Structure 1
Amino acid sequence: MKAIRMRVLALAGAVVLSNSLLSGGVVEAKSSDVSILAANSAKAAYQKVKVTINGVDMIFKQQDALLINGATMVPMREIFEKLGAEIGWNPQTQTVTATKDSTVIVLQIGAKTATVNGKTVQLAKEATVINNATLVPLRFVSEALGATIKWDAATGTALIESRSQAALLQILKDRNEYFKGKYSKLSIDDHTMKVDYYGVFGDGYYGLYVQLTEAQDLGALMELLKSDDSTVHRLTKQIAYDIHDKFGEDLFLIFIQTKVNVVPQLAGSPVAPFNPQDYDIVRVLPDGSSDLINNLFVNRYDFINRRVDSILVHAPDGADPGIFFRESLDEDINMRK
């Protein structure tokens, strides 16, 4: 392969959906405690705080979340919009109005109270404006929209969870069915590939695994890559825009996997040689055969910075793993065709 050869500093080749939001040093907090959860770790009056919503990192476009004098303050518009609320602004009265379903929230800059459906709610700290962004106490997100707030002291991250684990699994199931129905086959140039899908919510991102089930499809993909570094991106670009446009994901990964079935008596023989260490997953099936699943490539899509990277996970022929194709999404004029 040619073009860009940069070594990836950190890449999770395989991600398993787990209860990671409920473990690994994460402390669940009552809403009354949230505003002071980070106080002990404050090193300055203004300290940047990381935020995730439903396991996905928030990338704030205007102003980061901050720890201000012991109170965790988050940008109201971007947080509330991500949680499905519509935001209105009255510059004359310096008032923000947020609406989600039957819930109406009204908050005035500088006030120590807000109203939720006409009921007064006391704020731990008054709303403030920094870099033209309205910051509100993290606790208010919980009180206003019913989200669960947790604080990960190890990473200094505020975790906002608006969906139960069961709801997350249902979302993944619905998305998997959508992709299987719409993209049961992928075509590139004159070759059509039969594929399967499954998705995960990993540590701060959504990931979709595209599995090649036929050996000849892998051969065709590798042959195309010899002359065109954009092959892996071209294979998944329609899916990528669906993930962004239909499901609202800005940062996500699309993995390309091979899934090869090997019967026990042939395993390791000259007929079907394989080394289990070369595979990320070796799954034994009920009939005694095995699925050998190998992560080959991953496309990392970033719709915030408008960029796609194609990354080689397992390098054939001694090649270095890393980014072998990079392109601006703005320059990809054929993306939606």
Structure 2
Amino acid sequence: MLSLLYPTREMIALKAPGSIRRYDESFINMTLAERSRFLDFSYRQVTPQVEHHQGVTVTRSGVCIRGGRIIPASIHWHRRIHHKLLVTTFASLARRKRVRLVEGKPYIIIHNMWTGGYYHWIAEALPRLIAAKDHLADGILLLPQSKSLERVMLESAAVFGATAIQRFPGNANVMVPDLVLPRNSPLINNYQPNEMEELRERAAWAARDHPAPLGARRLFISRSRSRGRKIANEEEVQARLIELGFSVVHLEDFGFLDQVRLFQQADEVVAQHGAGLVNIAFMRPGTRVIELIRRQGTRRSDWNRLHQSSLLQAAYPKLAACMNVYYECLLCEAVDVGQTFDIGDVFVDVEQLVAKLGAVRTFGGGRFCG
């Protein structure tokens, strides 16, 4: 197996599937100066596909290997991660034992190397689970262990119809006799409007009788408990936002359905760039989000190296436009420009933020006033 591990012809050609489309940019309210800081707002439109394979080795990172080849549907198509992916997959096969799973029912894989994080779980794993909905009654969802995301994984999987769930055994990879493989998104931050709309509708239906953790319509999402990427003057920011009727929320206090309800009932959300903003996927059309995002510093983040670009990722402008949620951003100064975007703290200009909140904006023919 180890000597035969090599990329497929599709991986070498690196032609991601699907045609290039753009979201409705009338929901993205940015000045030309702000837009110039971001990558473009395009995506590749792909049709959800579910593949079936027999005799597949699956690593704990969700990489699927058959006949010595990585199955392209199990990975992202970014050229610059493939070397790392091949190295980590080779190392995993070399050092971990392989356990053969019991035959009889198909096993379903929806995770990848990043879905241990909240953003990737919501934006990438759950759409794959929806794509596999016709197989859930007879199949077993195979999930990795995750201390930080355990509650969210189990709760959300149940919401979307997974009744039989099995964990990876110990520290091992697995040999799956019968595999159901919904295709992984070809690119990161590549949302399919139909899939994401179904995600929102099904989550809203599941949460309809779930008690709302707060009655707030205006939310400020705090990262003060995070290990990095904080707001240096957050006390000042919180004080002004509370005066304006915002409630301060720490998302780590809430489970999946709690977060669905929080964002479902919110009219307006202010949040620093971070995984919690993926909950835009549960906001109602016509609501509003303001992202506090750092201007790039002198050191490139992992994202920048991946794309060989100094521009900001457009994860949340694209998601907001996909969900018909109005998006604005406030570019913030770095506290230490030597730190990467991933962990560096920012300073928020409170007066600029208040001005954005108080301004009457025109979006796509409609008006929104903070």
In the superposition, the TM-score normalised over structure 1's length comes to 0.29
- The structure with the largest helix share of the pair is 2
In the superposition, the TM-score normalised over structure 2's length comes to 0.27
- The structure with the largest strand share of the pair is 1
| Bigger relative contact order (CA 8 A; separation at least 6) | 2
Which protein has the larger Cα radius of gyration, Structure 1 or Structure 2?
Answer: 1
